[in-house]
A and B are shown apart, each in its own frame.
Chain A
Amino acid sequence: MAGKQKILKGSIVFILLLSLLIQAGCAFKDIDKRVFVLGFGIDPSEQVRNGFRVTLKLAKQVGDIKQSTSPPYLYISHDAESVAEAIHEMETRVDKVLDFGHSKIIVMHKELLTKDLDTFMDFFTRRGDIQMISYVAVADKTAEEIISFEPTTEAPASIALYNYFDNTGTESPFVVTTFLFEFRREVLGEGHDTIMPIIGTDEENHDFVIDKSIVLKRGAPPVELTPEETKYFNSLMNKAYGFSYKIKEDGLIMVLNFDEIRMSYKILLNDGDPRIDMKITKVGVVGESNKRLNSKQIEKYNKIAGKEIGKTVTDLLIKLQENDVNPFGFGLRYRATRLSKKGIMEEWKRIYPDIKFNVKVNIELKSTGAVE
């Protein structure tokens, strides 16, 4: 009898405890009480001296996403002396909790690149709920304009800017992708400079244009790369495919598409002048031609393309060298492959401006693309 009573008492206590469940825990926040921050835009503030203007892109909750016509986003901006302050003050302007768990892009104004970068970027790396795989980009205009820009192709509940960078949407070689962790590592580390995409909009304000990039070295003016240079850089560093090259010769116009790109380089200091031997192999097919092609002449096309591409790559390398930036990470390679000693980076900084580039391009066209 006593045992039964004990069980009865136990179960009553258990049921009473269960009713406590209705008082949800403090970390418990239903998804409809959260508002997802999808992106940050950071501009220099016009109202606060030395301050920032932070713009947040928020996802509005729509009952039926398939039926809704307009992209369900809203934007709020705030000026404050620091990013963290701005965000804390913005929390008073929305009725729901700001959830940073889904924010994946940080757009900053170009002017901010010359400022003390690590202080304002510190906020993003310190907060646990902002993912280190967020994309970092530079705005062509103001960050506010870019982050609040809604291209015509943007569908509800799908964020156009993410699609550019995560390789699930477009895979254009003109788009370089930089993650927050890379950005932090490269800005604070030595020997490898950050390259970031520049996000602009087209003239009619319909769509994004992301084809340029900017190379950033801490304490030096940033170097902008043209779309063409961005493409070359991206294809070499990130093996971005979709790289195409146009040959024009004797009325023959031919577009080559490369789908496999390999690049390797060596830093040679003891073999004559200090130089970097770069070997590039590109494998591809003929994508378009205005004349009938002869498969025996493939070698010839290979050579023409190889020579042209080699020259463009050398030009890019020299431009980067002249501006004393190095997104290829030559410095890091030098540091990693030499015996560690004091002043090794100073040594590299002395070597880099005078180093010679020896680019060898090997083009391998698989066929003319025609059945004979």
Chain B
Amino acid sequence: MTEKQAPPLFDELATIFKPSSDIVQTPLQLKDHRAFLFYVKSVVDGDKLQQTVIRPFFEMGSEEDFASYIQSLPNRTDIPDKDKLLIKLSSGLVLIAIGDSTFLLDVRIVKNNEIQETVMEPTIHGPQKGLSEDIETTINLIRQRYHNSSLKVEEIPKNDISNRAIVLLYDNDRIDPRILKKIKAELEGITNALFESAEDLQHFLNRSKLTLFPTTMVTERPDRIVYNLVAGKVIIAIDGSPNVIVAPIIFFDFMSSMEDNYHVSVITGFTILLRYLGLFTCILLPSLYIAMTSYNPEILRIELALTVAGSRIGVPYPSFIEVIFMLFFMELLTEASMRLPKAVSGTATTVGGLILGTAATEAALTSTIMVIIISAVAISTFVIPINEMSFAVRVVRFLLIIYTSLFGLVGLLLGFMGFIMFLANKDSLGEPYLRIPWKGKNAELGMDNK
């Protein structure tokens, strides 16, 4: 009886993986049956391996029986070429050699597959759970909400360093094939070496280097995903990220909250109205203050003009410095409370609130009316439901302030018109970015054709 050696492939693989200590290359032997296992211990489910591979090996009568048993396991996959094989092994597959044949079994263990709470877009009504960091779980969550054979899950081969799975999900019946083609081309065109998360991938999808407004949306809500699938959009999921990318997205998608679908129509209408008023307030109000106090006080009511003039007594700097100063502190405050650990952020907001509140007025650094305006602006920024858009709006605000402090009310108007023109000129994968949704919800979802 000759001693069977491990196949040469195993030795080769072992040298590649060296000096990782979590490599296991082990022979199984019962009388003259032999099998060889090769796997990375830290990503393989040991129990499952024991249950489905090692135990049956010792129970089976012959190598042939064991080979056909392994052959019929549901988690068996075909063996790809060597490069792919390395990727697969490092993600938790087990290579088994029995006699002359080798098999690849999926016994990976995923620790990050718990379902996350919705953090970015919390709602009162509607689903409270988001997606998972594990792509299998994420796809499972989406599939469980969309039982339809036309939902396609397509893996995109991507050669970045981490070799993580990127998956496209779309409804084959509803999607515009041109958009799908464009997105695929777009994804293939990305040459970046490493994606950390969905947000990261999104930046590369936005094409131009200097963009302010995103053309894709990052979401964590399964209900939004399903809504967009039905509307014929593509969902891009990346392993390891609890968020997915929705494309193509236009401006007005950023202004909609999923809760709009869960309320009665009048309430929804009211909240949408509030949201748009908030949008215009936070874009225009600081610039309007500059325009009104420094260029065209005649558009105010006389009482207000006198009050504003009175409250500015002793303020050392011109109005736009005042506005930029206060906005700057407000932005610092927002940024700080976002980044800080929860234990400290409370202190930051309290201290910041003191500075922005009465203290700044009492020190005659700003007028009292300015404090009101800044708080109104800060609050209305948070009314915008999608965080990415409120970031963009914060930048637009500063651009308008520059225009206004140079050219007054006319500058504000021109700047705002320029902003509209910019948005109108922009496109999101061929869709006009500022396309006004004249169509109703049903038409948008393609329901009225049926």
Using a CB–CB cutoff of 8 Å, the interface residues on chain A facing chain B are: 18, 21-22, 24-25, 27-32, 34, 36, 38, 59, 61-65, 72, 99, 101-102, 104, 129, 131, 157-159, 162
- Contact among B293, B298, B309, B402 with A18 in the assembled complex (CB-CB below 8 Å): B402
B302, A159: Cβ atoms under 8 Å?
yes
Q: Which residues of B contact A162 (CB under 8 A)?
A: 302
Q: A24 to B292, alpha carbons, bound, how many Å?
A: 15
User: Using Cβ atoms and an 8 Å threshold, which residues of chain A touch B295?
Assistant: 27-29
A-B contact pairs, 21 of them (CB 8 A): A18-B402, A21-B402, A24-B294, A29-B295, A30-B312, A31-B305, A31-B319, A32-B312, A34-B297, A36-B297, A36-B302, A61-B310, A63-B313, A65-B306, A72-B306, A101-B297, A102-B305, A131-B298, A157-B303, A158-B303, A162-B302
Query: Residues 308-326 of chain B: 1 if any A CB is under 8 Å from the residue's CB, otherwise 0?
Result: 1111111100111100000
Which residues of chain B are near A21, meaning CB under 8 Å?
320, 402, 405-406
A22 with B321, Cβ < 8 A, contacts A34-B297, A102-B298 known:
yes
**Candidate in B297, B305, B309, B406 with the most chain A CB atoms within 10 angstroms:** B309
Known: A21-B320, A27-B295, A65-B307. 17 other contacts (CB 8 A): A22-B321, A28-B294, A30-B293, A31-B308, A31-B309, A32-B309, A36-B297, A36-B302, A59-B306, A59-B309, A61-B309, A99-B297, A101-B297, A101-B298, A102-B302, A102-B305, A129-B298
Q: Is B310 touching A63 in the complex (CB atoms < 8 A)? A: yes
Q: Which residue of B lies closest to A36 (CB)?
A: B305
Determine how close the nearest CB of chain B comes to the CB of A58; give it in whole angstroms: 11
Within 8 A of A (CB), among B126-180: none
Q: Which residue of A lies closest to B296 (CB)?
A: A101
Determine the chain A residues whose CB is within 8 A of the CB of B302 once the complex forms.
36, 38, 59, 102, 104, 157, 159, 162
Closest to A158 in B: B303
Hey, which chain B residues are within 8 Å of A131, CB to CB?
298
Distance in Å: Cβ of A128 to nearest Cβ of chain B: 10
Contact A63:B297 (CB < 8 A) given known A28-B405, A31-B305, A31-B319: no
Which applies to chain A's interface (DSSP): helix, strand, loop or mixed?
loop
B286 contacts A by Cβ under 8 Å = no
Tally chain B residues at the interface, Cβ within 8 Å: 29
Cross-chain contact A99 with B407 (CB below 8 angstroms): no
What separation, in Å, do the CA atoms of A99 and B309 have in the docked complex?
Answer: 12
Given A21-B405, A27-B295, A34 and B320 contact (CB-CB distance below 8 Å): no
Max chain A C-beta neighbours (<10 A), residue from B292, B296, B311: B311
Q: Is the CB of A30 within 8 A of B310?
A: no
Chain A residues with CB under 8 Å of B406's CB are 21, 25
**A residues less than 8 Å from B315 (CB atoms):** 32
Residues from chain B with a CB closer than 8 A to the CB of A61 are 306, 309-310, 313
1/0 per residue, CB under 8 A from A, across B276-304: the answer is 00000000000000001111111000110
Q: Which residue of B lies closest to A104 (CB)?
A: B302
Residue of A nearest to B290 (CB): A28
In the complex, are the beta carbons of A25 and B407 less than 8 A apart?
A: yes
Q: How far is the CA of A159 from the CA of B321 in the complex (A)?
A: 32
Residue of A30, A64, A131, A159 most packed against chain B (CB within 10 A) = A30
For the complex of A and B, list the 9 residue pairs with the smallest distance between their C-beta atoms, beginning with the closest: A101-B298, A32-B312, A31-B293, A157-B306, A31-B309, A102-B302, A63-B313, A61-B309, A62-B310
Q: A-B contact count, CB below 8 Å?
A: 87
Contacts of B312 in A (CB 8 A): 30-32
B293 — which chain A residues lie within 8 A by C-beta?
Answer: 30-31
Contacts of B309 in A (CB 8 A): 31-32, 34, 36, 59, 61
Q: Write the nearest CB–CB distance from B292 to chain A, whole angstroms.
A: 8
Report the minimal beta-carbon distance from A352 to chain B, rounded to whole angstroms: 42
Least CB distance from A64 to B in Å reads 7
Give the docked Cα–Cα distance between A65 and B308 (Å).
10
Judging by beta carbons under 8 Å apart, are A102 and B297 in contact? Answer: yes
Is B408's beta carbon under 8 Å from chain A? yes
Contacting pair B310 A65 (CB below 8 A): yes
A22 to B322, CA, bound (A): 11
- Residues of A close to B405: CB separation below 8 A: 21, 24-25, 28
Q: In chain A, what residue has the closest Cβ to B298?
A: A101
Question: Residue among B296, B297, B302, B310 with the most chain A CB within 10 A?
Answer: B310
C-alpha spacing A157/B298, complex, angstroms: 15
Q: Which residues of B contact A31 (CB under 8 A)?
A: 292-294, 297, 305, 308-309, 312, 319
**Complex CA distance for A27 and B405, rounded to whole angstroms:** 10
- Report the separation of the CA atoms of residues A38 and B306 in the bound assembly, to the nearest whole angstrom: 11
A12 CB to closest chain B CB (Å) equals 16
* Most chain A Cβ neighbours within 10 Å, of B297, B302, B303, B306: B306
| Least CB separation from A25: chain B residue | B406
For B321, the closest partner residue in chain A by CB is A22
Chain A residue with the shortest CB-CB distance to B398: A18
